[in-house]
Amino acid sequence: MSNAPKYIHHVNFPTTDPERTKEWYAKVFGLKAITPKSNTRVVLMTRGNFDLHFTPVEEMDRMAPYHFAIEVEDWDGFLKHLTDLGIRHTRPIERPENQSKFCYIHDPDHTMIEIVYHGKRPA
């Protein structure tokens, strides 16, 4: 038995509009909403390999600098996807030391999301 965590199962963020949140995360990241099997008000969304949960709140506190990061397989394709959806992102930054790129977007509740891409990782 190991005391090391296997992986992060989910993270939970606040949302002021659960339906808008479901629609946005479905179209941007392809997440699917899951119906909770309890009477909880939380919005459950999954990609199969990770989950995001959203708890309804009346007002949002400012999230920055808190954020989460999503790794993408096709950098140019995903940035085009964002552009096609009308979602603005920060200027991409490249890290030559590990051949990675990243930029930031915000969801409708202003949760900051880092978009990350790693090319060929050094051996």
pLDDT value of residue 5 = 66
In a domain, 40, yes or no: yes
Residues 15 and 109 sit within 8 Å (Cβ to Cβ): yes
> Which pLDDT does position 19 carry in this prediction?
96
**Rg of the chain over CA atoms, in angstroms?**
16
CA distance 89 to 13: 20
Under DSSP, is residue 117 helix (H, G, I), strand (E, B) or coil? strand
Strands in 51-56's sheet, in edge-to-edge order, are 10-15, 51-56, 43-46, 32-34
In a domain, 49, yes or no: yes
Summarised one tens digit per residue, pLDDT across range 52-77 is 999 999 887 766 677 899 999 999 99
- Which pLDDT score is estimated for 122? 54
- So what's the pLDDT on residue 9? 79
In a domain, 21, yes or no: yes
Provide the domain limits for residue 96.
10-118
- Is residue 5 one of the residues assigned to a domain? no
Residue 78 domain flag = yes
Flag whether 1 is in a domain. no
Do the domain assignments include residue 79? Answer: yes
How many distinct structural domains can be found in the chain? 1
Q: Is residue 82 part of a domain?
A: yes
Q: Which residues in the chain land under pLDDT 70?
A: 1-5, 62-64, 120-123
Question: What is the model's pLDDT at position 1?
Answer: 53
Structure tokens given for 61? 């506190």
Which residue type does 68 have? F
What's the pTM value of the predicted model, to 2 decimals? 0.82
**Domain at 43, CATH number:** 3.10.180.10
The pLDDT assigned to 34 comes to 93
